[in-house]
Amino acid sequence: MPELPSTKPYLIRAIWEWCCDNGFTPYVAVSVDARTKVPREFVRDGQIVLNVGNEATNRLQMGNEWIEFQARFGGVARELAIPVEQVAAIYARENGAGMAFEVNLDGTPNLPPLAVETMVPDIGAASTPPDETPPSPPARPEGGKPRLQRVK
């Protein structure tokens, strides 16, 4: 029996469309590897979180293998290319609703998505690796940056 294609790119596109249709800003959390083309100076602990909304991107293409677009960093346009298998989550910045995915760092095929989750957005912090239990979130200070937290 032939292996079925992954549902992950379809789910990513669906959450992205849901965010845009409802006036939310879609963000993706990406586990950066050698193939991931992103501004390395913004990568923290092997992860980067990117705004993939229409206002923040140019020429966005969300294919089954790659997410490609142009975005500005410090006023400079940069070309980005993200392997779909490296997407750890897609969520709405405003309310954290979205979906998280397993990202395998050893090159084995990805598992199906964990579940639709509510996440506490945090653009400045890296998420906990999938095999570790995340610590309890500290109280968010006024004006503090949001952060991702995997809810199980």
pLDDT in tens, 82-101: 999 999 999 999 999 999 99
Distance of CA 41 to the CA centre of its chain: 17
Q: Which domains does the chain have, with CATH numbers?
A: 8-118 (2.30.30.220)
First to last CA, the chain: 33
pTM: 0.69
The one-letter amino acid code at 120 reads V
- How far CA 57 is from CA of 50, 70, 78, 91, in Å, comes to 10, 6, 10, 16
Mean pLDDT of all residues in 125-139:
43
The CA radius of gyration of the chain, in Å to the nearest whole number, is 15
The one-character DSSP state at 11 is H
Where does the pLDDT of residue 20 fall: very low under 50, low under 70, confident under 90, or very high at 90 and above? Answer: very high
pLDDT of residue 10: 97
pLDDT of residue 45: 93
